C-alpha cells in the first residue's frame, strides 16, 4: 500500500510538472515541480485523490476572498476597520489609560460631579447673563450651559482654537485666578451687533491681523458684565469680587497655573438670532479651594438655605418661647459624706457678702449678673451687666416685626 502511495505521489508531481510546462513556465518551474514531488514522497501524504480534494477545497474558499479583494480595491474603510488594521482598540486604550501611573496621576483630579453646588451656581449664571447681555446688546440673546468638565490646565491651553481673546481675572477674596476665553466667531458677532450690523449676515472671521482697540474694548466690556453676573451667582454661597486683570491673545501669556494642575471648565453658548459663539470659563481647583466645603453641600433651594420668610418666623417663635432663668447666689463643692449627713437645723455658710453679685443663668449658660434687693414683699435682682444678644437672630426678629407692623 505504501508503494501505491509513493507511486501516486510521483504521478502527481509529474502531472504538476507537465501543467507548468504547458503554461510555458520554464526550467525553474520544472525544478519546482520536482521539488514538490520529492517533498510529498518524503512526507508520505495520502493518495492523489485526497490531495486533489484538499487543493480544490482551498481554491473554492479563496475564490470569494479574491473576488471581494478585486471588487473592493477602491472601497473606503470605516473607522473600525482602520482601527483594526492599525491594531488600535479604543476600549483597550481607555482601560490602559486608567491603569498604572495614569490612574495615580488622575486620582488628584476631582470630578465636578463631586461638587453639587457648582452646577447650581453656573445655572444661575446662565439666567443672569441672559438678562444682562440682552440689556447690553438690545438684541434677543440666549445663553445656554453646554458642559461642565474637569481638565488639565496645560491640555486646555493647547486646545484653545486661535484666534481668540483670553481674559485673566482674579477672585479677590479667594486669592486665586481664572480664565475666560472668547472664541473668534463670538467676538465678531458681538461687535457686529453692537455696531449696528444687519441680521442675517454670515459670521465673519478675519485672519492675519490682531484685534483692533475698538474690538478689544467691546469684548472687555462684555467680559466685565459676565464677571459681574458671576459675582452675583456666587454671592449666596460666598461673597467674591472678580476683577479683570488683563486680556491676551496668546495662550502662553495667560498661564495662571501649572500645566499639570486640574481645573473646572465651563462652556457657555451665546446665540443672537443666527449669530453667536461660545465662551469658556476656566477656574483651577486651587481657586475654588476656599469654598470647597460649601460646594460639597447638597442643593437646598434657590436661596442656598437663606430664606428670609423662614428666618423671620423662626426668630419670632424663638422670642416668644418661655425660658427658665436661675439666680445663683453661691456655688460650692461638698464631699458626698457631708451631703448625706445633712439634717434639719444645720447651717451652711456661704463665702459671699450681701453686696456680692448674683449670677443669672439659663441652664448651664451664664446670661448676666445682678445684685440682690427687695421690691415690696418680694426679693428682686437688679441687672448690672448687659446680655450678649445674638445680632443675626435679633436682626431677623426686627425685620419680621417691621413687616408685621407694615401689613397691619
Torsion sign (Cα): 363, 369, 374, 375: negative
Q: pLDDT at position 210, please?
A: 81
Given the DSSP bridges, would you call strands 242-248 and 164-171 parallel, antiparallel or unpaired? antiparallel
Alpha-carbon 295 to chain mean position: 12
Domain layout of the chain by residue ranges: 2-71, 112-296, 308-407
Q: How does 374-396 read in b/e, with b if 16+ C-beta sit within 10 Å?
A: eeeeeeebeeeeeeeeeeeeeeb
How many Å separate Cα 110 from the centre of its chain? 8
3-state secondary structure of 375: strand
Q: Residue 78: what pLDDT? A: 58
Q: Say what the pLDDT of residue 90 is.
A: 43
Phi/psi zone of residue 2: left (φ > 0), alpha (ψ -120 to 50 degrees), beta?
alpha
Give the pLDDT of residue 185: 87
Q: Interior CA angle at 235 toward 284 and 390, to 5°?
A: 125
CATH fit for domain 308-407, picks 2.30.330.10, 2.60.34.10, 2.130.10.10, 3.40.1160.10: 2.30.330.10
What is the per-residue pLDDT for 392? 64
**DSSP SS3 for 103:** helix
DSSP alpha helices (H): ranges in 87-212? 90-97, 101-106, 116-137, 153-158, 184-194
Helix or strand (DSSP H, E) at 214: helix 213-234
**Can you give the pLDDT at residue 206?**
59
pLDDT at 304 (0 to 100): 52
Going residue by residue through the chain, which has 408 residues, state the pLDDT in tens, using 9 for 90 and above.
444 444 555 666 676 666 655 555 445 555 655 555 565 555 554 455 565 566 556 555 555 554 554 554 455 555 566 556 655 444 444 444 455 566 555 554 545 557 778 888 999 999 999 999 999 988 888 999 988 888 888 888 888 888 889 999 999 889 899 999 999 888 888 888 888 776 655 555 556 678 888 889 999 999 999 999 999 999 888 889 999 999 998 888 888 888 888 889 999 999 987 788 899 999 998 898 888 888 887 665 555 555 667 777 777 787 788 888 888 888 888 899 988 888 898 888 888 887 888 888 888 888 888 888 888 888 888 888 877 776 666 666 677 777 766 766
242, β-bridge pairs = 171
Per-residue pLDDT at 40: 56
Specify the CATH architecture of the domain 112-296.
Answer: 3-Layer(aba) Sandwich (3.40)
* pTM check: above 0.75: no
pLDDT attached to residue 93: 45
Q: How far apart are alpha carbons 399 and 404 in whole angstroms? A: 9
Amino acid at each position: 500500500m505504501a508503494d501505491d502511495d509513493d507511486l501516486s505521489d510521483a504521478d502527481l508531481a509529474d502531472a504538476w510538472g507537465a501543467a507548468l510546462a504547458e503554461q510555458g513556465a520554464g526550467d525553474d518551474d520544472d525544478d519546482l515541480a520536482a521539488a514538490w514531488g520529492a517533498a510529498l514522497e518524503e512526507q508520505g501524504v495520502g493518495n492523489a485523490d485526497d490531495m486533489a480534494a484538499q487543493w480544490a477545497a482551498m481554491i473554492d474558499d479563496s475564490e470569494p476572498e479574491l473576488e471581494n479583494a478585486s471588487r473592493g480595491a477602491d472601497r473606503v474603510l470605516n473607522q473600525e476597520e482602520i482601527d483594526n488594521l492599525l491594531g488600535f482598540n479604543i476600549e483597550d486604550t481607555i482601560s490602559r489609560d486608567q491603569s498604572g501611573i495614569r490612574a495615580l496621576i488622575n486620582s488628584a483630579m476631582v470630578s465636578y460631579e463631586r461638587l453639587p453646588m457648582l452646577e447650581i451656581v453656573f445655572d444661575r449664571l446662565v439666567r443672569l447673563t441672559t438678562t444682562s447681555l440682552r440689556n447690553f446688546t438690545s438684541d434677543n440673546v440666549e445663553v445656554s450651559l453646554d458642559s461642565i468638565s474637569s481638565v488639565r490646565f496645560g491640555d486646555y491651553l493647547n486646545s484653545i482654537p486661535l484666534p481668540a481673546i483670553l481674559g485673566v481675572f482674579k477672585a479677590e477674596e479667594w486669592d486665586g485666578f481664572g480664565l475666560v476665553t472668547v472664541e473668534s466667531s463670538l467676538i465678531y458677532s458681538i461687535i457686529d451687533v453692537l455696531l449696528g450690523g444687519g441680521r442675517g449676515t454670515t459670521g465673519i472671521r478675519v485672519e492675519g491681523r490682531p484685534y483692533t482697540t475698538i474690538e478689544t474694548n467691546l469684548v472687555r466690556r462684555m467680559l466685565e458684565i459676565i464677571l459681574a453676573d458671576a459675582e452675583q451667582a456666587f454671592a449666596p454661597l460666598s461673597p467674591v469680587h472678580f476683577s479683570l486683570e488683563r486680556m491676551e491673545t496668546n495662550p502662553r501669556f495667560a498661564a495662571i497655573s501649572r500645566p499639570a494642575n486640574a481645573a473646572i471648565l465651563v462652556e457657555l453658548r451665546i446665540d443672537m438670532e443666527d449669530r453667536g459663539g461660545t465662551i469658556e470659563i476656566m477656574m483651577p481647583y486651587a481657586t475654588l479651594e476656599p469654598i470647597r466645603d460649601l460646594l460639597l453641600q447638597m442643593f437646598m433651594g434657590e436661596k442656598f438655605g437663606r430664606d428670609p420668610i423662614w428666618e423671620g418666623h423662626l426668630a419670632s417663635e424663638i422670642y416668644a418661647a418661655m425660658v427658665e432663668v436661675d439666680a445663683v447666689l453661691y456655688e460650692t463643692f461638698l464631699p458626698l459624706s457631708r451631703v448625706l449627713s445633712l439634717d434639719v437645723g444645720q447651717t451652711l455658710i456661704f463665702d459671699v457678702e450681701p453686696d456680692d453679685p448674683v449670677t443669672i443663668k439659663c441652664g448651664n449658660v451664664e446670661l448676666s449678673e445682678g445684685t440682690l434687693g427687695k421690691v415690696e414683699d418680694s426679693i428682686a435682682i437688679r441687672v448690672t451687666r448687659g446680655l450678649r444678644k445674638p445680632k443675626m437672630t435679633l436682626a431677623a426678629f426686627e425685620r419680621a416685626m417691621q413687616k408685621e407692623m407694615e401689613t397691619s
